[in-house]
């Protein structure tokens, strides 16, 4: 099949603002959009800039705006994207070049919720055990690959870039509800701040954008409920 890929390009050294460029690509219907971007970079214009690594939906590095919806370029098949495909950088994060955005602010929020197991109680002889039922409570939020598709589709984040955002809440949820963790008060305190979890207005864009099908809004609701009951 022949597809037209329209990419919003931006070179900070030459351009005052982003502009569209079109590329014609011969491809198999079962090729992924990432294959087409690689073809363009390797055969037509080597200056095209974007992140990618695993090419299998695991590393989270190639989230972008595809046909005006956030998605991973390595997971979307060309046959499902139409004969003309538009590709832009994620919205709401500083644009560095072409499809590349600055993720530092995103990862600063991730670090703020202390995304690691904290346990100060004396170590057991072997390991900190957990039942399958206890593991199930946070199973969904372990699937996050930190792609930022959720944050950058969230109107609350667009209107307030200090909002901690759904990705960090998902990461906090993974540890707050882990039966082995003893640091949830610290995480909940961060999420209870002015720009924490209460900035979420339950708009659901994040759920639609998540390539891992995480029920983000449910996770956010569980964190809100936990905070609300603590205050009683």
Q: For ligand F3S, which stretch binds (CB under 6 A), given 35-43, 100-108, 119-127, 204-212?
A: 204-212
Which of 15, 42, 45, 54 lies at the binding interface for ligand FES (CB under 6 A)?
54
Which of 44, 58, 108, 117 lies at the binding interface for ligand FES (CB under 6 A)?
58
Q: Crossing angle for the helix pair 166-176 and 216-231, nearest 10 degrees?
A: 60
Supply the minimum distance, in Å, between the C-beta of residue 213 and ligand F3S: 14
197 touches ligand SF4 (CB under 6 A): no
216 touches ligand SF4 (CB under 6 A): yes
Supply the minimum distance, in Å, between the C-beta of residue 27 and ligand F3S: 33
Question: Structure tokens of 52?
Answer: 């990618």
170 touches ligand SF4 (CB under 6 A): yes
Contact criterion met (CB below 8 Å) for 115 and 33: no
Among residues 5, 196, 162, the alpha carbon closest in space to that of 82 is found at 5
Q: Select 43 or 202, whichever has its Cβ closest to ligand SF4.
A: 202
Q: Which helix (H) or strand (E) holds 132?
A: helix 132-136
Apex CA 58: angle with CA 57 and CA 63, to 5°? Answer: 55
214 touches ligand SF4 (CB under 6 A): yes
Q: How many whole angstroms separate alpha carbon 130 and alpha carbon 141?
A: 17
Which of 52, 114, 135, 180 lies at the binding interface for ligand FES (CB under 6 A)?
52
154 touches ligand F3S (CB under 6 A): yes
CA 12 from chain center: how many Å? 24
């Amino acid at each position: 099949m022949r597809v037209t890929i329209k990419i919003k390009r931006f070179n900070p050294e030459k351009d005052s603002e982003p502009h569209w460029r079109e590329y014609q690509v011969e491809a198999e219907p079962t090729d992924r959009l990432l294959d087409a971007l690689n073809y363009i970079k390797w055969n037509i214009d080597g200056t095209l800039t974007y992140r990618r690594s695993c090419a299998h939906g695991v590393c989270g590095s190639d989230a972008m705006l595809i046909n005006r919806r956030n998605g991973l370029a390595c997971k979307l098949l060309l046959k499902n994207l139409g004969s003309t495909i538009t590709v832009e950088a994620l919205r709401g994060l500083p644009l560095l070049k072409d499809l590349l955005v600055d993720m530092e602010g995103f990862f600063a929020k991730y670090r703020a919720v202390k995304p690691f197991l904290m346990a100060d109680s004396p170590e057991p002889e072997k390991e900190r055990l957990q039942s399958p039922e206890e593991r199930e409570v946070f199973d969904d939020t372990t699937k996050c690959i930190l792609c930022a598709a959720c944050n950058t589709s969230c109107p609350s984040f667009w209107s307030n870039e200090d909002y901690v955002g759904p990705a960090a809440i998902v990461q906090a949820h993974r540890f707050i509800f882990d039966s082995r963790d003893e640091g949830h008060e610290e995480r909940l305190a961060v999420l209870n701040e002015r720009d924490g979890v209460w900035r979420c207005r339950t708009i659901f864009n994040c759920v639609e954008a998540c390539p891992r099908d995480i029920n983000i809004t449910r996770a956010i609701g569980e964190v809100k409920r936990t905070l609300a009951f603590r205050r009683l």
